[in-house]
Amino acid sequence: MSRLFLMGLVLVSTLVRPAWAEEPQSQNSEAAPAASSSTARPEGRSAAVPFIFTTSSMGFSVGAAASLQGVLQERSQLVAVGTYSENDSYVAFLGAYNLHFGDSGRWFVDLQAFDARMRETNVYIDGNPNFDTPAGSHGSSGENMVLGEESQRDFYATLRYVLPFGAGEHSPQRRARLVAGIPVAPEKGEQVGAYTSVEFEPFYRERTVEGFDGQFQKDKTQGVSLKLDHDARDFIPSPSRGYRFEAQLHRDFGSGERSSYTKWEAQYSHYLNFGASNWSKQQVLALTAYTSDVPTWDSGAEGHRPPWFAESTLGGWNRLRGYQSGRFHDRSAVFYGAEYRAIPRWQPQGAIPFIDRYYFPWWQLAIYGEVGRVHDSYDLSELHKEMDWTVGFGVRMWVENVVARVDWGFSEEESQLRVVVNQPF
């Protein structure tokens, strides 16, 4: 079981209106302070979050997260996170989002950098002398892993262009009609529909594993990906209506030290709004389906395959949340998830001293179920047999225009408690 206990949390911020990548429109006097009208110019806001926690891989840890909105540009956001632990593990993240350029206003850039070292962790790769079957494959033992130190390093630069048709014909800036931070149905005559964008993303990812038994393995992948995103959700942070379809193609052209490969993945998500009830302000059923494949897996004499962490993977923050990240990985994968989300009418946080300083209009309950499987060929019949599963529940909090998520997932092997940001889909 993954242990994660939040020991303390202190929020420090300068209280100025936040900037919005997705511009809100207030509907009435109940709208939250951050939901300024569509004609108002948002200002910058800064927030910092020191925290203390303990995990099985890092031990006792301290860290901080900071967000700067509207600093570089009107609706840009800078995010920085850093942690350090008693066993000399660390995590560092830096991101810059929603940077825009060009006269059309349709070009956007996101930049992300991640570096981490876990001194004691489980990695599902081959090397355990007690097993001769592939680690991470479907049906593999949960004990078929390497225990040791893992270092991670990721860099992404995403160039996005919003196409001039559909909902994005007249403006690439999205607008959500909110009441107390909750999206409501558009009024008659308001523009609705899907925003379609294309993305070009150079990437670099690296993993180094040093097993306690002396094993050493270093893998990396670098290349580019192309993505088509067709998005008709009513509110990106926490949708209540609409749908989204994503299709992405990854290509690593290889080098003398690594194999070239091609990988594709696609995901469709749909959101059904069941309205309010006597006890809830909002009820939503969120559904998703995902699949991926590496078509170059068996091409050539030796195959053209990505490193284990870039294969079709399940387990982690968003898919099969009852398993550790990268628990399952192989050539292909399918995944299905359903999540019921409800925002209770009982919202006491506005009356709690100190917390009432922050924009915290709602918290949300979630119950979810998931199934998925990996396989060594893209065989849809085989991928739907004996699927692995996860069930769980969680709490979501809309704090300072960010969805903070706490999920507890249960599977046949273990349970996983995670504190992350953003909805899983």
**Is residue 5 very low, low, confident or very high in pLDDT (cuts 50, 70, 90)?**
very low
Question: Once rounded to an integer, what is the mean pLDDT over residues 384-410?
Answer: 94
Name the residue with tokens 């999206």: 183
Q: Is the pLDDT of residue 6 over 60?
A: no
Q: Looking at 67-81, 121-135, 150-164, which range is the least confident one?
A: 67-81
Q: Structural domain of residue 409, as residue ranges?
A: 4-421
Can you give the pLDDT at residue 190? 64
Can you give the pLDDT at residue 323? 96
Contacts of 313 (CB under 8 A, 6+ apart): 319, 325, 326, 328, 329, 333, 374
Model confidence pLDDT, tens digit, residues 130-161: 998 899 999 999 999 999 999 999 999 999 99
How many domains are contained in the chain? 1
Q: Which neighbouring-strand residues pair with 92?
A: 82, 115
Q: Is the pLDDT of residue 330 over 50?
A: yes
Surface-to-core class of residue 323, CB atoms within 10 Å of its CB (0-12 exposed, 13-18 middle, 19+ buried): buried
Neighbours of 143 (CB within 10 A): 12
Percentage of the chain lying above the pLDDT 90 cut: 65
Q: Which backbone phi and psi does 243 adopt, to 5 degrees? A: -155, 170
pTM of the model as a whole = 0.88
Contact 136, 326 (CB under 8 A): yes
Can you give the pLDDT at residue 41? 35
Surface-to-core class of residue 356, CB atoms within 10 Å of its CB (0-12 exposed, 13-18 middle, 19+ buried): exposed
30 vs 187, higher pLDDT: 187
Q: How far apart are CA 308 and CA 126, in angstroms?
A: 10
Q: How far apart are CA 407 and CA 36, in angstroms?
A: 31
Domain CATH code at residue 31:
2.40.160.50
Can you give the pLDDT at residue 45? 65
Can you give the pLDDT at residue 4? 42
Q: How far apart are CA 63 and CA 10, in angstroms?
A: 11
Mean pLDDT estimate for the chain: 87
Q: How far apart are CA 119 and CA 90, in angstroms?
A: 9
Q: How far apart are CA 53 and CA 3, in angstroms?
A: 10
Can you give the pLDDT at residue 40? 34
Can you give the pLDDT at residue 261? 98
Q: Looking at 197-211, 272-286, 390-404, which range is the least confident one?
A: 390-404
